[in-house]
């Protein structure tokens, strides 16, 4: 069952919409959903003040889908803490989309602002446009970023992606800004595009695959050989099965990959970074 929200007027001050989840909508009538409160600055407003609402919610979160239409760049926290169900955004979305998400699915057909999937614990997020800074990262002052789930971004990503990442899977089709995977402690990242400087600073565990060009790598990472690595084909098949549009070329099993281990400025470093030899001769 689907509840349709159509943005009637763009807010001048951003809305904080952490109540816009299937959990909050499940079992409610359209009228009751319209009375759900949001925060706008120091004011409390109702969903009906900004959205036209139609459709029907399901009896449980897992049976409830929310379809949101309009330019939502000034609507924050859509799907924050979501624990089931499905959200579809037909347009761009604001900050903190899917932050602290536990379960369920979010599909954004546009781009998203900073802190999307921040401290995410589970679920699936598909972003067809770009993602801002701090995708899958931890909040300032917290030791943990993404802790589970899967995130796919078809566009580019800003700076400090996957900072403090512990678990989960992240795939990016486009390019990634500087300082990605800093203090990474687990999980898997695949970047099909290029990666800017300062990758994996103080990272100690996890795997990162860069299919494009990596600008540079810290000297605290140690070269661990260049060879064919058949197990990488497993991860590429995994990605191609779920998002075949991400891989526009077939990478043969015989492709040579360069492996680096680090960050050796930290105790017990086990971070693994794999880059394609054919794209990164400047690092070999």
Q: What is the pLDDT of residues 15-41, one digit of tens each?
A: 999 999 999 999 999 999 999 999 999
Tell me: pLDDT of 229 over 90: no
Nearest to 213 by CA among 282, 279, 281, 283: 279
pTM of the model: 0.96
For the chain, give the percent of residues with pLDDT over 70. 100
Average pLDDT value for residue range 260-268: 95
pLDDT at 83 over 90: yes
Domains contained in the chain, number? 1
- Per the domain annotation, does 86 fall within a domain? no
Question: Which is nearest to 229 in space by CA: 250, 245, 251, 244?
Answer: 251
Domain annotation covers residue 194: yes
Q: What is the extent of the structural domain holding 208?
A: 111-283
Q: How far apart are CA 180 and CA 157, in angstroms?
A: 10
Is there a contact between 46 and 34 (Cβ–Cβ < 8 Å)? Answer: yes
Residue 275 in domain: yes
Confidence of residue 181 (pLDDT cuts 50, 70, 90): very high
pLDDT value of residue 50:
96
Residues 43-77: b if buried by 16+ CB within 10 A, e if exposed: eebebbebbebebebbeebbebbbbbbbebbbbbb
Q: What's the pLDDT score for residue 128?
A: 98
Which one has a higher pLDDT value, 176 or 254?
A: 176
Tell me, what's the pLDDT at 58? Answer: 96
Tokens of 98: 């899917």
Residue 60 belongs to some domain of the structure: no
3-state helix, strand, coil split of the chain in percent (to 5) is 15, 35, 50
pLDDT band, very low/low/confident/very high, at 228 (cuts 50, 70, 90): confident
Mean pLDDT, rounded, for 126-152: 97
What does pLDDT average to over the chain?
A: 96
Q: Is residue 231 part of a domain?
A: yes
pLDDT band at 9 (very low <50, low <70, confident <90, very high): confident
Do the domain assignments include residue 50? no
């Amino acid at each position: 069952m689907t509840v349709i929200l159509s943005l009637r007027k763009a807010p001048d001050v951003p809305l904080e919409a952490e109540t816009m989840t299937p959990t909050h909508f499940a079992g409610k009538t359209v009228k009751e959903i319209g009375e759900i409160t949001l925060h706008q600055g120091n004011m409390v407003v109702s969903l009906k003040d900004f959205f036209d609402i139609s459709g029907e919610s399901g009896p449980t979160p897992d049976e409830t889908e929310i379809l949101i239409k309009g330019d939502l760049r000034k609507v924050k926290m859509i799907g924050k803490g979501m624990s089931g169900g499905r959200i579809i955004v037909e347009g761009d979305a604001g900050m903190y989309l899917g932050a602290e998400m536990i379960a369920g699915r979010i599909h954004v057909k546009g781009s998203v602002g900073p802190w999307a999937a921040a401290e995410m614990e589970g679920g699936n997020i598909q972003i067809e446009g770009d993602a801002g800074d701090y995708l899958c990262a931890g909040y300032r002052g917290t030791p943990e970023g993404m802790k589970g789930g899967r995130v796919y971004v078809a566009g580019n990503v800003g700076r400090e992606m996957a900072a403090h990442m512990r678990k989960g899977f992240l795939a990016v089709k486009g390019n990634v800004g500087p300082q990605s995977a800093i203090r990474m402690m687990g999980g898997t990242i695949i970047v099909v595009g290029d990666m800017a400087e300062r990758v994996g600073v103080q990272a100690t565990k996890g795997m990162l695959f860069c299919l494009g060009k990596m600008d540079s790598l810290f000297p605290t990472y140690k070269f661990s050989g260049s060879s064919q690595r058949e197990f990488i084909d497993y991860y590429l098949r995994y990605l191609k099965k779920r998002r075949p549009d991400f891989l526009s070329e077939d990478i043969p099993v015989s492709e040579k990959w360069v492996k680096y281990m680090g960050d050796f400025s930290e105790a017990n470093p086990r971070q693994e970074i794999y880059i394609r030899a054919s794209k990164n001769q400047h690092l070999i």
